[in-house]
Amino acid sequence: MTDDASASQPGPAHVAIIMDGNGRWAKSRGRPRAFGHRRGVETVRKAVETAGDLGVRYLTLFSFSTENWNRPADEVGALFQLMKTYVEADLEQLAARGVRIRIIGRRDNLGEDLKAIIDRAETQTAANDRFHLTIAFNYGGRDELVRAARTLARAARDGGIDPDTIDNAAFEQALDTHGLPDVDLLIRTSGEERISNFLLWQLAYAELLFLDVLWPDFSARHFAEAVDAFKQRSRRYGGLDAGAA
């Protein structure tokens, strides 16, 4: 594939972002980690707006992982409060803009107040289809796969499904992200270069881009440059470029 052909590739429909670096951003300014997380929420708002401007239709953000429970209790509490505050403050505006909100991850160990907010956000925006915002909260990729396997195993045990008919499509329907397309582009901020147990199934053929910028400093320019970089890549899905020998 020539450079010109590569440059003509459409932009990503589904972008996922590991929003990393809030704590380091705050520490570099002599502030507590919670200050960085609060500033990170402002970056989330800008990223959602920018995604739409760039033609991205699906945006999935990694907000709180199942491993983040190992952080200090006060930081975990601050992250939970930020989740509630963001949804409560932005829900009406997002709903009016045609945004569908989904929160993926475990809910069994969340407080009733947070579960009620999540349910309200999903219910109120369920009919929207202009833009899809998915927030991975209390989420882990391995945990999602295990839960999906259990769902299918119970269905097979109860006679609802023949195990021999379970294929990729059936497994995808048991995932938290059922109904969403696979991720086209994964962006991770902060300079770290790993996926940290995020969307292990959905990232199978995603392009990966690691940026040496902390999440609170992630701007519309960074997002646009990431989309442009994606357009320059050749996605072969195990095949060859056109014209390759």
Which of 3, 22, 68, 138 does the annotation list as catalytic?
A: 68
Has 20 been annotated as catalytic? yes
How many Cα atoms are found within 13 Å in the side-chain-facing hemisphere of 14?
Answer: 15
Tokens of 196: 């940290």
d(CA 135, CA 86): 11
Q: What is the dihedral of CA 135, 223, 193, 77, to 10 degrees?
A: -40
- Cα dihedral 174, 119, 143, 110 in deg (nearest 10): -150
Report how far residue 245's alpha carbon sits from residue 243's, in angstroms, rounded to the nearest whole number.
Answer: 6
Cα 195 to chain centroid, rounded: 11
Q: Please say if 70 is a catalytic residue.
A: no
Report yes or no: 49 and 219 within 8 Å, Cβ to Cβ: no
Catalytic hit among 4, 20, 70, 212? 20
Closest CA to 15 of 208, 190, 213: 208
CA distance 14 to 55: 10
Q: Answer whether 34's CB lies under 8 Å from 77's CB.
A: no
Helix axes 33-53, 220-231, angle to 10 degrees: 50
Catalytic residues: 20, 68
